[in-house]
Amino acid sequence: MAETLVLGEEPLTLDRIVEVARRRTSVAIGKTARERIARARAVVDAIVEAGDGAPAVYGVNTGFGFLADVRISAAEIRALQRNLVRSHAAGVGPLLPTEVVRAMLLLRAQVLCVGASGVRPIVVDHLVELLNRGVHPQIPAQGSVGASGDLAPLAHLALVLIGEGEAEYRGEVSDGAEALRRAGLPPLELGAKEGLSLVNGTQLMTAIGGLALVDAEQAAQIADLAGALSLEAWTGTPRAFDPRIHALRPHPGQAASARNLARLLQGSPIVESHRDCGKVQDPYSLRCMPQVHGATRDALAYARRVLEIEAGAATDNPLVFPDTNELISGGNFHGQPVALALDFAAIAVAELANISERRIEQLLNPHLSTGLPPFLIQSSGLNSGYMMAQVTAAALVSENKILAHPASVDSIPSSAGREDHVSMGVHAADKLRRIVENVRNALAIELLCAAQGIDLRAPLLPAPALAAVHHTIRQRVPRLESDRPIHRDIATVRELVDDGSLLAAAREQIPIE
């Protein structure tokens, strides 16, 4: 487990979010962050102390959304915040996975640590303690339109802080009050502006999108492994990965993918066996891997930059400026920057499956492959081999084409027209997550087929790094000699993709970027 993440002392990168969300790294609040929180709170406290004589400040002594012009008396300020959390907890659908909930808790704490929200330090302490003690609010996945941020999901998160809603603790789900009691935490009574500061923001879309993006980045590396193994099985040439070619079109992702492919294929006996075969060019799905895989890498790098900016941003409203004792209403909760980036990432990562499925076809189709039996099986006809594996990959690719339609071009007004343009950022994040799942399955199918192709090239061997990848697969999945149900084989290779075994095997031989 990595060392404790101290909020306010270091940038909140996607990798640190993954550590907290998936590996349960502990979290603490830094001294400077605590000081910023206290300074901003003093501004809110001054408004509260002024009572009914204070000017109207949105969300402190007024209603919300369309009701922003309704003045709330000083005696009702605490009830206002409690009612906000209760009324906005209107989510439906399946519950979010624990890793997403943990990422939301972390991101919400980080927002408050910026010191522009006006909450008391105890509010952030409670969020951090939910993480460290493993109290996970049960949050329905549906209900956000992505402006005023992810209101409904964040309200379900906040319910548990006040001892309501439901939470999971040590594998058991109970009401929020009981989960807090078992974890040794008291319920929190919300003060002025604190309910609003807990529900305003983009933390759900950033949580889902950030975790999916990290998985997509790994998928881009796996795509290079799968593509190189397919090229060996197809008896393609590595000439297209010559660094001189890519220096003339210096996209960073293209260059990185080309370096990976060249290293993976270095020292290949299979390549040497057909060096003078007379073929001039390979199909695009093999020859253009650096250009396609690399474009995906560059798009994901852009999305990472956006999400890491968002992770460290203040997305509350109104924002507190202690230097001038002001609270200013704005729109930092609007999810458009995140939604656009996640839509772009979804389109980009879908391409990894598009080109992978074409490489599968190149291996299986006897009219396209070079000396391989139909569908990679001896006695084809009696045996169908990997025929249906390509069909499954095609199904995944077609589903991705539907999912890749951008969510951010949609909008629907809410709150009686006050919130008249929204981002649909959670929809963009969820589509990305689903596409990444499909891509990883498609790549698992390609790896399975390519490994069979390598077997059929025996006694020739692939390059050392790819031989290690092939060996890792064969330790878990035997060569296909005659038909058997292959869904288990696909699932097993998918496990090797997810747990990093295949990348680790290659990295024992060469660096992988």
Count of alpha carbons within 13 Å of 136, Cβ hemisphere only?
23
Query: DSSP per residue over 326-380, as a string?
Result: EEE---TT--HHHHHHHHHHHHHHHHHHHHHHHHHHHHH-TTTSSSPPGGG-TTB
pLDDT at 266: 96
58 is catalytic: yes
- How many domains is the chain partitioned into structurally? 2
Write the pLDDT tens digit of every residue in 179-198: 999 999 999 999 999 999 99
222 lies in the same domain as 106: no
259 lies in the same domain as 195: no
Are 202 and 335 spatial neighbours (Cβ–Cβ below 8 Å)?
yes
Last residue of a domain, one of 175, 201, 227: 201
263 lies in the same domain as 401: yes
Residue 232 lies in a domain: yes
Q: For residue 142, which phi and psi values (nearest 5 degrees)? A: -110, 145
Looking at residues 417-433, what average pLDDT do you find? 93
- What is the Cα–Cα distance from 349 to 432, expressed in whole angstroms? 8
Read off the CATH number of the domain in which 269 is found: 1.20.200.10
301 lies in the same domain as 192: no
Residue 160 lies in a domain: yes
- What is the Cα–Cα distance from 148 to 200, expressed in whole angstroms? 6
258 lies in the same domain as 398: yes
Residue among 58, 169, 302, 386 flagged as catalytic: 58
Write the pLDDT tens digit of every residue in 371-410: 899 999 999 999 999 999 999 999 999 999 999 999 999 9
Residue 325 lies in a domain: no
187 lies in the same domain as 212: no
Residue 327 lies in a domain: no
261 lies in the same domain as 163: no
pLDDT at 47: 87
Residue 382 lies in a domain: yes
Residue 447 lies in a domain: yes
Last residue of a domain, one of 140, 173, 201: 201
Residue 166 lies in a domain: yes
- What is the Cα–Cα distance from 377 to 393, expressed in whole angstroms? 18
386 lies in the same domain as 451: yes
Of the chain, the percentage scoring pLDDT greater than 90 comes to 86
177 lies in the same domain as 247: no
User: First-to-last CA distance in the chain?
Assistant: 23
| pLDDT at position 81 over 60 | yes
Read off the CATH number of the domain in which 143 is found: 1.10.275.10
* Residues linked to residue 10 through DSSP beta bridges, in sequence order: 7
pLDDT band at 1 (very low <50, low <70, confident <90, very high): very low
What three-state secondary structure class fits 141? strand
What three-state secondary structure class fits 173? strand
Last residue of a domain, one of 178, 201, 224: 201
* Residues linked to residue 62 through DSSP beta bridges, in sequence order: 71
Q: Strands 27-29 and 5-7, how do they pair?
A: parallel
81 lies in the same domain as 25: yes
∠ CA 241-245-249, nearest 5°, is: 115
Of the chain, the percentage scoring pLDDT greater than 70 comes to 98
Write the pLDDT tens digit of every residue in 137-158: 999 999 999 988 899 999 999 9
Write the pLDDT tens digit of every residue in 470-486: 999 999 999 999 999 99
Write the pLDDT tens digit of every residue in 436-471: 999 999 999 999 999 999 999 999 999 999 999 999
Write the pLDDT tens digit of every residue in 100-146: 999 999 999 999 999 999 999 999 999 999 999 999 999 999 999 99
Query: DSSP per residue over 191-216, as a string?
Result: -TTHHHHHHSB-HHHHHHHHHHHHHH
pTM score, whole prediction: 0.95
435 lies in the same domain as 454: yes
Closest among 346, 387, 351, 355 to 226, alpha carbons compared: 355
54 lies in the same domain as 122: yes
- What six digits make up the tokens of 477? 């999945």
**Which residues span the domain enclosing 116?**
5-201
pLDDT at 2: 59
Residue 241 lies in a domain: yes
